[in-house]
């Protein structure tokens, strides 16, 4: 697991921050903010470009986030632009930056005090700033989106992938100077910039280095000089020629042909995935309608009174772990933001992973060797873990201090009501069973009425496969019954969620606890089971042996909630365009040999404007926020908040493409 190294920071005689790794200043000792405006905003003619922009989003990429000064200056300027041009088609700004050696939240806050005009933006950023691993972390500032790609820039530029080809409008080339940081200023960077930049897109940089100028010219940029900032004699800026050829897709079998209009979007579902997808789409200015087959939303797996939220860590699957940690960090940000407007019971008081047997203890110890920050994962002995849990336990385990629990049913029901006030349309008791593509829209009939939408998203859990278009998706149902029991004197002392071969939540406002959950694969029966109810209690007592507080639990009320989860064998969800299985099987039947012979490949055949979010399993609270934002970004053809390798792992056609890549036949 690649780990981050934080910046080693010092200050010179003028109190300008200095990187001890590169022995270079973060910004001009003369006036760092004025330099940012002159070199990057004026150098890229930003204000004029915003006025002339015809698309809904403008995308800036920056080499070196540093103190965040360039971002703060641009974010404030964009907010000013929105106020002065409310009718402009340009509604959103994406600021994509790369940082190998991030500063801490406290260091950022201290430096930002020099710029009180950015106080609100700085507070928003530092409140959620907690770099934990390499890859992308997205931060929200109303209509400004900040994507920080932590780690080696060369690796991250590659991980932007095919979906970013020709997407960037302008570049801020702002790494430490070429003589101090030659690893950054190289042909690989310039080639990636050219691939990622829109035709007509620009760059600006403080340096006038001949090596940089020649490197940018060599890959195809038109490079020019202008007067440098302050005492600097010259700086460089330039553009990608309008007639430049489009970059060739590196992984066409994972990327669909471009879809049509995407302004009118229907979501078929009614759970936590639907909530967060609608949330992200509405933020991006889309018209969204939700169709739910039940009398009320959150009636299936999202209908539990309490559910745990924490990342699914592993000792044997590095890519999946990165996905779940990204999801967890993003979920914390989105949930805390949503909690300011939506009432739902929640406590982020931690999650204890109990070593209930030797095998589990070894696994938890092995995961600790991944050297996570203690805010994410820390091993404890029995005494310390007992203090965290609030009740005595016999064995040690691990503790995820920022995890916790929330009420899924309250989150979804109150969240959907909140989004209705933001423009979401909701149809209840509306079951969609058949979709037809006609006249550039998906349509179906209900009660003699025809419903039409330019885009449809299937977020209906285990019922995804009721549509003929989802043929080939290897999803299966998992029945899970959660028991609800009244609290007692002992259980009321529980401070956090305890996970074993099941889980137990702290007491809720209704004076109850949830104990879960049964796990019956390929079972979609919704009837309450007394046997599963009793097994949930028994499993708690069997896993936490010699813990008297697990005894005397009153299960006589026989209260429980049955939910049917949807899952995949490889333990991660699916998100993206619905693949046309028959067409892709024909299209890529000889994929192995075509790649070996380096033959050109066409983009994957998917159903036009039909998407899915599926297979969230028991981790929906953790993954739904990021999956919703990811799919909303895909639909809007805007920057994606995740690396290409994880995106491929989430792809709806991954199961058969993996077989074809190995030269195997797919039936």
* Residue 628, Cβ density class (10 Å: 0-12 exposed, 13-18 middle, ≥19 buried): buried
Per residue in 457-508, pLDDT tens? Answer: 999 999 999 999 998 899 999 999 999 999 999 999 999 999 999 999 999 9
Widest pairwise Cα distance in the chain: 82
CATH topology of domain 9-239: Rossmann fold (3.40.50)
Would 9-239 and 252-344+404-473+568-667 be classified into the same CATH topology?
no
Tokens 């909690």, residue located: 339
Residue-by-residue DSSP string for 87-105: T-S--EEEEEEEESSPPPH
150 pLDDT above the threshold of 90: yes
Please tell me the predicted confidence (pLDDT) of residue 22: 57
Break the chain into its structural domains and give their ranges. Answer: 9-239, 252-344+404-473+568-667, 351-401+476-567
Please tell me the predicted confidence (pLDDT) of residue 326: 96
SS3 at position 76 = helix
Task: Tell me the residue length of the chain.
Answer: 667
Per residue in 503-543, pLDDT tens? Answer: 999 999 999 999 989 999 999 999 999 999 999 999 999 99
Q: How far apart, in whole angstroms, are the C-alpha atoms of residue 310 and residue 327?
A: 9
19 pLDDT above the threshold of 90: no
257 pLDDT above the threshold of 80: no
* Residue 109, Cβ density class (10 Å: 0-12 exposed, 13-18 middle, ≥19 buried): middle
Please tell me the predicted confidence (pLDDT) of residue 540: 96
Please tell me the predicted confidence (pLDDT) of residue 20: 61
Q: Taking phi first (over 0 means left), then psi (-120 to 50 degrees means alpha), and beta for anything else, what does residue 152 get?
A: beta
CATH code linked to domain 351-401+476-567 = 3.30.9.10
The pTM of this model reads: 0.95
Please tell me the predicted confidence (pLDDT) of residue 8: 67
74 pLDDT above the threshold of 90: yes
SS3 at position 239 = strand
Q: Are strands 503-504 and 455-459 parallel, antiparallel or unpaired?
A: unpaired
Band of residue 185 on the pLDDT scale cut at 50, 70, 90: confident
Q: What is the DSSP letter of 603?
A: P
Beta carbons within 8 Å of 487's beta carbon, 6+ residues apart: 507, 511, 512, 513
Per residue in 282-334, pLDDT tens? Answer: 999 999 999 999 999 999 989 999 999 999 998 888 999 999 999 999 999 99
Please tell me the predicted confidence (pLDDT) of residue 26: 57
Q: Which CATH number fits domain 252-344+404-473+568-667: 3.50.50.60, 3.40.640.10, 3.40.1350.10, 3.40.710.10?
A: 3.50.50.60
């Amino acid at each position: 697991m690649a780990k981050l190294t934080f910046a080693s920071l010092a200050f010179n005689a003028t109190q300008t921050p200095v990187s001890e790794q590169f022995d270079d200043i973060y910004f001009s000792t003369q006036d760092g903010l004025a330099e940012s405006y002159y070199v990057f905003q004026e150098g890229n003619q930003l204000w004029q470009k915003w006025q002339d922009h015809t698309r809904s989003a403008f995308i800036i990429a920056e080499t070196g986030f540093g103190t965040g000064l360039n971002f703060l200056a641009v974010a404030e300027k964009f907010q000013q632009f929105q106020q002065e041009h409310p009718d402009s088609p340009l509604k959103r700004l994406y600021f994509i930056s790369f940082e190998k050696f991030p500063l801490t939240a406290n260091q950022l806050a201290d430096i930002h005090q020099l710029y009180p005009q950015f106080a609100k933006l700085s507070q928003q950023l530092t409140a959620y700033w907690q770099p934990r691993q390499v890859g992308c972390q997205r931060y929200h500032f109303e209509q400004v989106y900040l994507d920080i790609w932590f780690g080696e820039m060369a690796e991250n530029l590659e991980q932007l992938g095919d979906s970013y080809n020709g997407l960037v409008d302008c570049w801020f080339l702002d790494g430490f100077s070429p003589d101090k940081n030659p690893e950054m200023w190289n042909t690989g960077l310039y080639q990636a910039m050219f691939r990622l930049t829109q035709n007509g897109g620009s760059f600006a940089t403080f340096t006038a280095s001949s090596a940089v100028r020649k490197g940018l010219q060599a890959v195809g940029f038109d490079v020019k000089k202008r007067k440098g900032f302050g005492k600097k004699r010259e700086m460089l800026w330039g553009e990608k020629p309008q007639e430049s050829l489009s970059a060739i897709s590196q992984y066409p079998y994972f990327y669909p042909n471009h879809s049509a209009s995407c302004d009118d979007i229907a979501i078929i579902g009614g759970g936590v995935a639907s909530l967060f997808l609608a949330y992200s789409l509405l933020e991006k200015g889309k018209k969204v309608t939700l169709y739910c087959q039940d009398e009320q939303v959150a009636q299936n797996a999202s209908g539990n009174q309490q559910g745990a939220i924490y990342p699914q860590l592993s000792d044997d699957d590095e890519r999946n772990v990165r996905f779940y940690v990204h999801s967890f960090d993003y979920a914390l940000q989105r949930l805390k933001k949503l909690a300011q407007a939506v009432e739902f019971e929640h406590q982020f008081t931690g999650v204890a992973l109990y070593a209930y047997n030797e095998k589990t203890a070894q696994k938890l110890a092995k995961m600790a060797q991944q050297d996570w920050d203690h805010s994410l994962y820390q091993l404890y002995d029995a005494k310390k873990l007992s203090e965290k849990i609030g009740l005595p336990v016999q064995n040690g385990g691990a503790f995820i201090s920022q995890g916790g629990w929330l009420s899924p049913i309250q989150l979804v029901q109150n969240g959907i009501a909140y989004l209705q006030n933001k423009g979401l349309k909701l149809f209840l008791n509306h079951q969609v069973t058949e979709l037809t593509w006609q006249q550039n829209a998906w349509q179906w009939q209900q009660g003699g009425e025809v419903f039409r939408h330019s885009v449809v998203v299937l977020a209906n859990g285990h019922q995804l496969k009721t549509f003929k278009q989802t043929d080939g998706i290897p999803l299966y149902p998992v029945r899970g019954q959660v028991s609800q029991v009244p609290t007692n004197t002992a259980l009321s002392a529980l401070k956090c969620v305890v996970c074993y071969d099941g889980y137990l939540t702290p007491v809720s406002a209704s004076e109850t606890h949830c104990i879960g959950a049964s796990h019956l694969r390929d079972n979609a029966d919704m009837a309450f089971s007394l046997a599963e109810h009793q097994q949930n209690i028994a499993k708690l007592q069997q896993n936490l042996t010699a813990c008297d507080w697990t005894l005397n639990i009153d299960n006589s009320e026989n209260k429980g909630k049955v939910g049917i989860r949807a899952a995949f064998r490889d333990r991660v969800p699916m998100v993206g365009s619905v693949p046309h299985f028959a067409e892709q099987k024909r299209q890529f039947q000889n994929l192995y040999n075509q790649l070996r012979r380096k033959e050109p490949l066409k983009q994957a055949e998917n159903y036009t404007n039909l998407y899915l979010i599926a297979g969230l399993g028991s981790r929906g609270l953790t993954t739904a926020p990021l999956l919703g934002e990811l799919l909303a970004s895909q639909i809007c053809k805007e920057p994606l908040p995740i690396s290409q390798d994880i995106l491929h792992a989430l792809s709806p056609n991954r199961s058969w493409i993996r077989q074809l890549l190995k030269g195997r036949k797919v039936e």
